[in-house]
Amino acid sequence: MGLRRSHLLGSLVALVLGLTGAAQATELSKDEYREQRRFAANNSMFVLYHEMAHLLFDQLQLPVLGREEDAADNVATWTLLNKGTERADQAVRDAARGWFLSGIAYDSGGVESDYAAAHALDKQRAYQIVCLMVGKDEPSFRPVAEMYDVPDYRVESCAWDYDVINRSLRRVLDRGQEFTGQQTRVRVTYKPAGGALREAADAFKSSGVFDQVADELRQRFRLPRQVRFNAERCGEPNAFYDPDTVEIIFCYELMQDYMDLYAAELPKTGATGGKSGTGKHKPPRN
């Protein structure tokens, strides 16, 4: 199989199992249970827009200046910010928080090979999301920038960052809507998952984010080939686009990973707030 452009690379199974044990030791209240699933679904949505960006770069042969992984993150953030809905705004907040928590839990940057990886460090990805948020709408998102201690001088320059990305993406993504003909064919499949992943698989399917992103692809773009969206057990928390099969694969382990990250952040009392992290070390990414 050809190149797989991935959200997270490398086997993190042992880490997920460790997080799962910590999560199971924390009994969630009904509100925390609901917030956990919202957080996991919103982070999964961000990942799916990220992988959709890889799909569009490939199928439409769009120009990418700089690292493709950074560009895909920018597409995902920009897409959510331009929906202009309360749900989308919450999703981009959750995505930033998710990368911060991931950076702590997996010690992103803790080994030298992290700096040579195709992806930016997890906390850098989080700060870029926050920058674009405040760059687009400072009055609404200034509290988020303050929560993460983004310096005032950086907040001021984020407006320029957003304007450049907004102008660029509007121009290149218009190419995907120039083609006439039938609607893009997208086939969505949820493969079965039992055992420890059953709850995560059910939560992912019931969230509707997979079908939502697939439908947006159908409605907004005209692609020459059929696209497949497959949700399945992969053996690692991951999501990726495969250009050989024109397929976006979402792994149920990733949904579980987000659920565990949320639960692991909760203090032992079960109240929300405070960042604990796991202090565990992530293997080098491939």
CA distance 137 to 159: 8
Cα 286 from chain centre? 19
How large a percentage of the chain has pLDDT more than 90?
69
| Spans in the chain with pLDDT lower than 70 | 1-26, 175-181, 267-286
Could you report the per-residue pLDDT of 168-185, keeping only the tens digit for each? Answer: 999 888 765 655 557 899
Say what the pTM is: 0.85
Between β-strands 239-242 and 5-6, what pairing exists: parallel, antiparallel or unpaired? antiparallel
Token digits for 33? 């249970």
Could you report the per-residue pLDDT of 26-58, keeping only the tens digit for each? Answer: 588 899 999 999 999 999 999 999 999 999 999
CB neighbour burial string for 53-78, b if at least 16 within 10 angstroms, e if fewer = bbbbbbbbebeeeeebbbbbbbbbbb
pLDDT score of 280:
29
CA distance 30 to 9: 33
Cβ–Cβ under 8 Å, residues 237 and 16: yes
